[in-house]
Structure 1
Amino acid sequence: MSIPPAPAAAPADAIQLNDVPRRGALYRVHHEGKTSYLFGTIHVGKQDFFPLEPQVTEALAKSSSLVLELDVRASGPYYRALERHGQYPAGHTISEHLSPAALAKLQLALDKVKLPLTSVEHYRPWVVANILVGQEIEKSGFNRGLGVESYLLSNAAQQKKPLQELETADYQLSLFGAMDDAQQEAYLLENIADIESGAALRKSAGLVEAWGKADASRIAALTRELTTGDTVSARFMDATLLGKRNPEMAASIEAIMRKGDAFIGIGLLHLVGDKGVPALLRQHGYQVEKVY
């Protein structure tokens, strides 16, 4: 759920190399004679992440459709949702909704990245927090326009495969917008503290590196770190971004598989643990095999 959405699609290379490394996590899902694939994505990338390895591209080629959380090319629905859930009504600004201490810390954080307060004053604290973290990630060389979803979309378009979305931008952003003022201030301050300490980049870059090596144990460890602890950010990640959405995604995937097969790309963290989507599908009688 980056701010803003990916502006451009990663190129879909026609040539697949035999020595392309495994990245992410890939599952084969069987049910009632149908076979689908479940792949863990990340929302940022680098040019050398592509092409994806042959097992992934072959799985996409064999599937009848591509399923993603969202069509990241569609900026209109995203910005309408951002206006609804992430911006204050006309005449209101973030300065009126933060404590003086929080506002001072925000001003310092903005000064460090040379962003004037006026450029973000109409956004709610959760949006500003995500903007600041996104800038920190991009400073390390990762590009939102090179996210894995863009690559999959480009390949699927070449193969004339239809796209299905599991969620909407309005729904995703509404989850953040449901936090009250106190939670949003805490979320903002926690993320600023993580940026200052280097933890934000360490966790984000660590997850991308783990995805790039298909390092399941490190992915699991980072997921535990992101969802454990007495912070608004950890509780929100655990209870809402994963805990609420995983069962909903699993139910939508089941509905899709009742009609046919698909290649399903969802955020990597949704695949992890006994409450992840693969585990939930197994609980509902689906045969789920981890390819890697």
Structure 2
Amino acid sequence: MRRYVVFIFTALFSLYAASAHADKAVTQTTSPSANGQKHVIPQRGTLYRATHGSNVSYLFGTIHVGQTAFYPLEPQVTRALSDAKKLVIEVDINNTEAMRLAIMRHGIYPDGQTINRHLSADGSVQLRQALKRVDIPFESVARMKPWMIANLLLIQEMARNGFPTEQGIEKYFISIAQEQNKPIQELETADYQLSLFDSMTDAEQEEYLRENLAELANGDAMKKALALISAWQNADARALDGALLEMQKGETASDRFLQQVLLDKRNPNMANKVETLLKTDKTSFVAVGALHLLGDKGVPSLLQKRGYEVQKIY
């Protein structure tokens, strides 16, 4: 279940990326192959077009990690962003001070407290074993909360497998928007996003951590994450919908948290923000985690139920 974090949660790890900025964005829509011929750039993720009168909002589903091979994105996406008057993302990940303050408030224990006070004996042993496997000293994470350590280890494992956060789709879009002098607007704040994880009880946080550690240790976390990235990379709608259905079947506390809090609680608020954009902006481009756009409770479906015209482009 935890592998879905790379699709729906963006704020936490921008401070831990190996680089503060993505490579300079490439906006060309075709590129030469080895024999000098041009090839068509494949579709990625999922793309919707919502309209209200003459106003348009494009909704693109992202992942929050990436690699240079993903870029440039295909013409429909780059044209939609070029046409838009503003870029809208979940959180402005370039606002590192807001990130730092949110992490200190929600992800770090107060002075004098360590994670040992909040974990069972078995949980502490499992954590120390996991940290030893990846050569991270316990002292470097001792004041981090369990949910934060779990997500940090997952993101670091993603980076080791060639998918770092500094190559994430949001950074790519931000670089294009900056080149085109477009305003950048956020749907949420870093403080709000991290407060959702901090809302878990100690017991729920330990369960979240231990499930993550087990999946990282046996390889399931990367196996499933890579399958989801492949689905996004190939715009495989059936695989993405299947991933959402699998998550909805989860029976653990952390499964329910992911579905009920990170998706179901946030999607209506995101739909509210997009609705405002449709009423006030001629053209906007909205980039959010791909799972926010899927299913009956996804943002496109919520907008459609409110009477807006929503077209799935792919």
The residue that corresponds to 2:241 in the other structure is 220
* Contact kept in structure 2, 1:63 and 1:263, CA below 8 Å: yes
The residue that corresponds to 1:9 in the other structure is 22
Helix, strand or coil for the counterpart of 1:4?
helix
Matches within 5 A, 1:151-230: 151-230=172-251
TM-score between the two structures when normalised by the length of structure 2: 0.90
Aligned partner letter, 2:291: L
Rounded to whole Å, the distance in 2 between the matches of 1:244 and 1:287 is 23
The residue that corresponds to 1:276 in the other structure is 298
* Contact kept in structure 2, 1:203 and 1:222, CA below 8 Å: no
Question: Deviation at 1:204?
Answer: 1.5
* Contact kept in structure 1, 2:232 and 2:240, CA below 8 Å: yes
TM-score between the two structures when normalised by the length of structure 1: 0.97
Percent identity reads 46
* Contact kept in structure 2, 1:210 and 1:218, CA below 8 Å: yes
Unaligned runs of 5+ in 1: none
Helix, strand or coil for the counterpart of 1:238?
helix
Rounded to whole Å, the distance in 2 between the matches of 1:219 and 1:20 is 20
Rounded to whole Å, the distance in 2 between the matches of 1:176 and 1:254 is 26
User: Is 1:106 aligned with 2:132?
Assistant: no
Aligned partner letter, 2:103: L
Partner deviation per Cα, 1:28-64 (whole Å, 9 max, x = no partner):
1111221110000110000010000010000011111
Aligned partner letter, 1:12: A
Question: Deviation at 1:158?
Answer: 1.1
Question: Deviation at 1:207?
Answer: 1.4
Unaligned runs of 5+ in 2: 1-8, 31-38
Rounded to whole Å, the distance in 2 between the matches of 1:227 and 1:139 is 28
Helix, strand or coil for the counterpart of 2:26?
coil
Rounded to whole Å, the distance in 2 between the matches of 1:33 and 1:255 is 14
Helix, strand or coil for the counterpart of 2:257?
helix
Q: Which of 159, 166, 173 is the aligned partner of 1:145?
A: 166
Helix, strand or coil for the counterpart of 2:48?
strand
Count, aligned residues: 292
The residue that corresponds to 2:140 in the other structure is 119
Helix, strand or coil for the counterpart of 2:40?
coil
Question: Deviation at 1:135?
Answer: 1.6
- Root-mean-square deviation (CA, aligned residues, Å) is 1.2
Partner deviation per Cα, 1:120-169 (whole Å, 9 max, x = no partner):
00000000111111122112111100000011111111111111100000
Rounded to whole Å, the distance in 1 between the matches of 2:160 and 2:308 is 41
